[in-house]
Amino acid sequence: MNKNIALILTFVLSLFVSNCASSSVGIATSNKPIPNTPYETVKTVDKTFTWYALDIIIFGVHLSEPPVANLYEKVMEEETGDALVNIRYWNEKAIFGPITRYRFNIKGDLVKFPNSQTPSKTKR
């Protein structure tokens, strides 16, 4: 009986230990071009977005919509800013059996331009 319990516990522990997790990090100056444009820092923003997928061998189905399509716009709309500067980000993927959890974190300084005008690109 004790052997069976030890075997089951070893199996369960090996499931947790053998799962993978991977991540990457990055840095960017801003999400919009702001050369020689004065701006006022509103606050520091730190948001984490999470979504899940069901992965079976080579087939994967997202259980929820990945929120990374308009990520910067979502952050700026929620916090009422014009741009993000000093952007730092990381993403992480953790696999728990057939379920995969994706997390994406973005941190940066939310800024506002004078007169609430977003600078446009100039043609050269």
Confidence of residue 117 (pLDDT cuts 50, 70, 90): low
| Assigned domain for 40 exists | yes
The pLDDT value given to residue 15: 65
Pairing of strands 59-62, 83-96: unpaired
User: What pLDDT was estimated at residue 82?
Assistant: 85
| Domain assignment present for 3 | no
Rounded (10°) CA dihedral 115, 121, 123, 124: 100
Q: Which residues pair with 57 in a beta bridge?
A: none
- Determine the structural domain holding residue 34 and report its residue range: 21-116
For residue 36, tell me if it sits in a domain.
yes
- What is residue 54's predicted lDDT score, i.e. its pLDDT? 92
In single-letter form, the type of residue at position 115 comes to N
In a domain, 55, yes or no: yes
Residue 15 forms part of a structural domain: no
- pTM here is 0.65
Alpha carbons 93 and 18: distance in angstroms, whole number: 14
Is 97 a domain residue? yes
- What per-residue confidence (pLDDT) applies to 123? 44
Strands (E), the chain: 21-30, 40-56, 59-62, 83-96, 99-112
Residue 104 has pLDDT above 50, yes or no: yes
Helix, strand, coil % in the chain, rounded to nearest 5: 25, 50, 30
Instruction: Detail the DSSP E strand segments found in 34-98.
Output: 40-56, 59-62, 83-96
Q: What is the chain's mean pLDDT, rounded? A: 80
Residue 43 lies in a domain: yes
- 123 in a domain, yes or no? no
Distance CA 111, CA 97 (A): 42
Q: How many domains does the chain have?
A: 1
Tens-place pLDDT, residues 31-73: 888 878 888 888 898 988 898 999 888 888 888 877 776 777 7
